[in-house]
Structure 1
Amino acid sequence: MRKFLPLLLILTACTVPPDPPPVPPSPEIQVLPQPAPTEARRPVDATHLTAAAVFGDLESVDLCQFLKPRDIADFGAAVPDDPAAFDVCAMTFIRDVDRVLVRVRVGPFQRDGRPALRSQALAGGVRKDVVGEDDEQCLAELVFPDGPVLQVAAGADRNSFGGSRGVTASKCPLVDTAIDAMARRFPLGLPSARTFGPGSWHRAHACDLLRPDLVARIPGLAGKQPEQSAAGHACVVRGDGVEARFRFAAGYPLLPTGNLAVTIAGRESVTDDLPRPSRDRTSWCQVSTAHIPHEIPDLPGTSEYAAVEVQVAADRRDTACAESRALAEGVWPGLPG
């Protein structure tokens, strides 16, 4: 055995160990895309529900975040409707029992409430006042501790499929159901601001343009004081049997079909061809001018627009449209670019 030892040592010394197996490359660290952070909710004190805390900026609030069609599904299958305002959410449905068209409206915000027929205290210091109820509609107001008053209304259309059948049923249970659903969302601090394009009018204040010298030209309005809505988008001047109104709005302005297309103060405008009758037997006429597109979910082709209206007593019916056009001649030059 000894004579083989040197050879064994030589073989051992010269043996080259095999290469280690290749180390697999380290997997790349993958950064998964993160979902966009949700908009922070506003802190809300459920014991003191101010309009500022519940809704945020009244000039840009989307009230349709607080009332959904499913909330009133027991009354009918509601679909979105033209809000005709920045601070309004509207929806309509055809009532199954009588085929009457019913419209539900949340908004606008007002500075002052009306005398209440009956009142109810809600959570957080909010008060519900029913201020109007008749065969065709129910109007309630939610009065918030910091002052703003939010209207909630439901009304039936006598000219819909069912004619006047069924319109005598009270709409207040529908309004109550809508308010109950909204009140459950008030403490949540919901992100509820709309998105506006460059040059939007949602920050403009209507009473800045409805000047006293303009409304004084309408008989019965000289010396009357303007009233501006809480969000600033609407302004009204009231006299005895006559009103002048101006508003910045989102929705569908008047269309030339069935109306008159005119140019007023250099702006393409549309005016009612004939005065429209009101429920209180007065007549009113509107002039509107479109601004920029404004997207409202499920309502294609909506835009921002401005509108003036003059409402007069029945014996002055024939003057309503001429006075509306004259008012637009004075208001349009002041519209923001």
Structure 2
Amino acid sequence: MPTRLVVVLLAALLLLAGCIRVQGTPMPGEAGPLRGRAVFGDLNTVDYCSLFQPAPLRAINARTGPAESSFLTCTVDVATASGPVVLTIGYLDDAEHSQFAGNVNEVRALPRELSVRSYDTYEPGWCFKYLLFSDGVNLEVAARGEGQARETLCLVAGAAVDGVRQNIVTGKVEWLTFRQNSLGRTDACSLARADEVAAIVGAAAAPWQPLIGHWCQWGGAQADAPSVKIEYALHDVRTPGSPAYDDAIGGRQARVVPLAAGYCAVESPHIAFTENDPYAIEIISVYAYLPGVPDACPVARRLAELIWPRLPPTPR
């Protein structure tokens, strides 16, 4: 393990190039409960791909593609005998906010007061597992695959959870350092006040307070209630079919994406995630969900007009 001085010097040098990764230290052996806040430290900068380990997937005869890191998740394409599965690891949050009330299918106790809660019948084509720490912090591991059997999806998600736990115990957690003006340095909940959102939506919109600042939601306490969400993501512009941002909203390039009746998103590109890779671009999206309203896009546009000028500046 590098000395503290070497780590600091490397960080200082690499910071000039943008996003860097700093590795943690092994968690002590069977020495008491594992607390999520102690394991992960600064929850906003966790590199979720440092938690992924391909060996448990190989043990179930699955092949894995490259792990792709983003603000909220690590995404891995998994090839199984019955077809493709998309695996995501991320969304650190308080269990009270992130788990599905009343739908748990299985709870598996692990050493050091860890547990795994499985939600394999919540939605067809998905299997959700949550690694729950002793302080109530949990990590979501999800597998999705169109037409895939529930057993296959949960086998993939379960193998991924085993790998995550091994990496945590052996100190392989890593953290990111965001570039100047990265979205990662801005708490999404600071971009709008509840009264501003309510005035645009036309309904009360109390904010949720997630543990990490890369997303925020107002309203939506009930499934049929209006809600607004801001979320940060990464997109590789070399991906075939990459969107064109040919609209102008709030002084920025943007695109409006109708998703369904009463559901609309507005997206805008920001800056490259690192200076070394100009193709991985930070994206901010604002979502408006208005049950009973045929077209939520005018509201989503107004929200973007409010929020975009408050974002960190981009190079001209």
Distance 1:244 1:205, change over 3 A: same
Find the residue that maps to 2:163 and give its secondary structure.
Answer: helix
Give 2:88's aligned residue: 105
Greater shift, 259-268 or 244-253, is seen at 244-253
- C-alpha distance after superposition, 1:142-164 (max 9, x if no partner): 2222332211111113xxxxxx4
Contact kept, 8 Å, 2:56 with 2:162, in 1: the verdict is no
Number of aligned residues: 283
The alignment status of 1:150 with 2:128, answered yes or no, reads no
Please, which of 229, 243, 265 is the counterpart of residue 286 of structure 1?
265
Give 1:138's aligned residue: 127
The alignment status of 1:207 with 2:207, answered yes or no, reads no
Contact kept, 8 Å, 1:135 with 1:169, in 2: the verdict is no
Give 1:79's aligned residue: 65
Return the letter of the residue paired with 2:215.
Answer: A
Give 1:267's aligned residue: 252
Please, which of 286, 299, 311 is the counterpart of residue 335 of structure 1?
311
Return the letter of the residue paired with 2:309.
Answer: P
Find the residue that maps to 1:86 and give its secondary structure.
Answer: coil
Greater shift, 145-154 or 299-308, is seen at 299-308
d(CA) in 1 for partners of 2:304 and 2:158?
38
Distance 1:80 1:288, change over 3 A: farther
The alignment status of 1:126 with 2:114, answered yes or no, reads yes
Identity level (%): 27
The alignment status of 1:244 with 2:216, answered yes or no, reads no
Give how far 1:192 is off.
0.2
- C-alpha distance after superposition, 1:183-211 (max 9, x if no partner): 11212222501242222221321111132
d(CA) in 1 for partners of 2:55 and 2:92?
23
Find the residue that maps to 1:268 and give its secondary structure.
Answer: strand
The alignment status of 1:310 with 2:288, answered yes or no, reads yes
More helix by share: 2
Distance 1:291 1:219, change over 3 A: closer
Distance 1:53 1:188, change over 3 A: farther
Give how far 1:104 is off.
0.6
Give 1:22's aligned residue: none
The alignment status of 1:324 with 2:300, answered yes or no, reads yes
Listed as ranges, the gaps of 5+ residues in structure 2 are 8-21
d(CA) in 1 for partners of 2:271 and 2:279?
10
Give 1:61's aligned residue: 46
- C-alpha distance after superposition, 1:18-71 (max 9, x if no partner): xxxxxxxxxxxxxxxxxx956674362443222233223211111111113443
Return the letter of the residue paired with 2:161.
Answer: I
Contact kept, 8 Å, 1:102 with 1:154, in 2: the verdict is yes
Contact kept, 8 Å, 1:93 with 1:103, in 2: the verdict is yes
The alignment status of 1:52 with 2:37, answered yes or no, reads yes
Distance 1:324 1:252, change over 3 A: farther
The alignment status of 1:171 with 2:153, answered yes or no, reads yes
Contact kept, 8 Å, 2:188 with 2:216, in 1: the verdict is yes
Return the letter of the residue paired with 2:127.
Answer: C
Distance 1:300 1:171, change over 3 A: farther
Return the letter of the residue paired with 1:305.
Answer: I
Q: How does 1:188-203 map onto structure 2 within 5 Å?
A: 188-203=170-185
d(CA) in 2 for partners of 1:307 and 1:212?
18
Distance 1:110 1:205, change over 3 A: same
Q: What's the C-alpha RMSD, in Å, of the aligned pairs?
A: 3.2
The alignment status of 1:229 with 2:210, answered yes or no, reads yes
TM-score (norm 2): 0.77
The structure whose Rg is larger is: 1
- C-alpha distance after superposition, 1:280-332 (max 9, x if no partner): xx6632212222211499x972122221011243x42x312222111111111
d(CA) in 1 for partners of 2:154 and 2:196?
39
Contact kept, 8 Å, 1:136 with 1:167, in 2: the verdict is yes
- C-alpha distance after superposition, 1:233-264 (max 9, x if no partner): 11112333432100233345899966662111
Give how far 1:335 is off.
1.2
d(CA) in 2 for partners of 1:183 and 1:193?
17
Find the residue that maps to 1:181 and give its secondary structure.
Answer: helix
More strand by share: 2
TM-score (norm 1): 0.73
